A and B are shown apart, each in its own frame.
Chain A
Amino acid sequence: MNCRRARNLLFDFFDGASNEALRAEVDRHLGECRECDTFASELTSSLALLRRAPVEPVDDNFNWKVRLAIHREKNVALERAASANAWVRAWNVRYVLSTGFALTAVLLAGGMFVARNGALPAPVQVATRPLTQVNKSGQEPTSPRPVPRSNIRTPVRNDLSSTVSNCFMSNSLCGVRTMHRPSRTMKIWSSLS
């Protein structure tokens, strides 16, 4: 048993630890070591002094002061909540107004653009039929071939025959004239007229 261990055990005994064997050992050490004996007596008397410390009384109005402080805190919290709500409402109004202004500005800008540049161009029609003629072998030529003039029937008279002959010619969607061979019936009809 050394001095350090003896002093640590003294603290444990003060806290209520009970070990008869250890206590006897510590007592033996205290009998042999004067410094530890002084330490033990000083410790005992100082902690006894501390345990005799008077209980300080509290102010009579303590409870009332606590209630008042709680009431004030509640009021402060309510005021903060109210101002936060007002702030959120104000922000919502601003948001709506700013969004409205932005939309109006975009519409005005779009209108001014249309007014300056006129009507928008008509949409371009996309061709669904091939632009070039297919030759007799069934292959598409690499470049579009012009239609021979002899195959083009131009209307000479503004009458039924021309109307009929005009029926033989038709414009494709892209404007290039394609030929239809007239039937035998149509030939007879045109010779009669």
Chain B
Amino acid sequence: MLRVQSGVADCYDVLVERYKVRLFNYLYRLTGNRDEAEEIAQEAFVKAYIHAAKYKTIARFSTWLYTIATNLVRNRIRSRSRAPQLISLWQRGFGDSDEERMLDIEDTGRTPDEAINDAELSSVINRAIAKIPEKYRESFVLREINELSYEEIAAVTGLKLGTVRSRINRARNYFRQLVAPVVEKGIDF
């Protein structure tokens, strides 16, 4: 990043190659939409390049990149909440009743002990994460999917360490309840 700041633009390709998968997976789990995740990831890399002069080496580049991406996601959510739109995963929150908490797992006629492929596992996980309340979702995905430390998550989200811990634990509890039927059925992924 120091080379990029000094004007060696070709070095930025190295940074993009290094962080694109992690950033994309974070955004994909957060938004549940592949195209949107790719668009936001591209926008985050572009913004990081344009504002390279503002990057300070006291923080890791990945932390800074995640911060930009998180702010972009928050802006999109804010703009969606203002404009009336079709009901999507964004607006579906965590319900109070047990029925709403459970995921609707499609009955494909398979036996419970049949393996589900990666795509279905991914789909189950995305749907469960989409049902977690929005304010817990960011910290949860950064911890469980991207395996960031609590300090890094606090830097990315702008929250205190204690708040990050409590939000992650609550999100884990929600996720446990959502995935309970899948676990109960003993489905082997």
- Footprint of B on A, CB under 8 Å? 8, 11, 14-15, 39, 42-43, 45-47, 49-59, 62-63, 65-67, 69-70, 73, 77
Contacts and interface: CB of A to CB of B under 8 A. Distances in A.
B144 A55 contact: no
A73 B50 contact: yes
B13 interface: yes
B90 interface: no
17 contacts: A15-B150, A46-B175, A47-B176, A52-B189, A53-B145, A56-B24, A56-B34, A57-B21, A58-B20, A58-B21, A58-B24, A62-B38, A66-B16, A69-B46, A70-B12, A70-B50, A77-B50
B66 interface: no
A57 B45 CA distance: 17
Contacts of A11: 168-169, 172
B106 interface: no
Interface of B: 12-13, 16-17, 20-21, 24-25, 28-29, 34, 38, 41-43, 45-46, 49-50, 118-119, 121-122, 125, 144-145, 150, 168-169, 172-173, 175-177, 179-180, 182-183, 189
A46 B38 contact: no
Contacts, number: 90
B122 A65 contact: no
Given A47-B172, A70-B49, 11 more contacts: A15-B150, A42-B176, A43-B173, A45-B179, A46-B172, A53-B125, A55-B25, A58-B38, A62-B24, A69-B43, A69-B46
Contacts of B122: 53-54, 56
A57 B144 CA distance: 18
Contacts of B180: 42, 46
A17 B179 CA distance: 25
A59 B46 contact: no
B42 A62 contact: yes
B27 to A, nearest CB: 10
A53 to B, nearest CB: 5
A50 B145 contact: yes
Contacts of A66: 16, 42, 45-46
Contacts of A47: 144, 172, 175-176
A53 B169 CA distance: 19
B161 to A, nearest CB: 12
A49 B118 CA distance: 11
A160 B106 CA distance: 144
* 3 closest residue pairs by CB, A with B: A54-B118, A46-B179, A46-B176
A69 B125 CA distance: 31
Contacts of B38: 58-59, 62
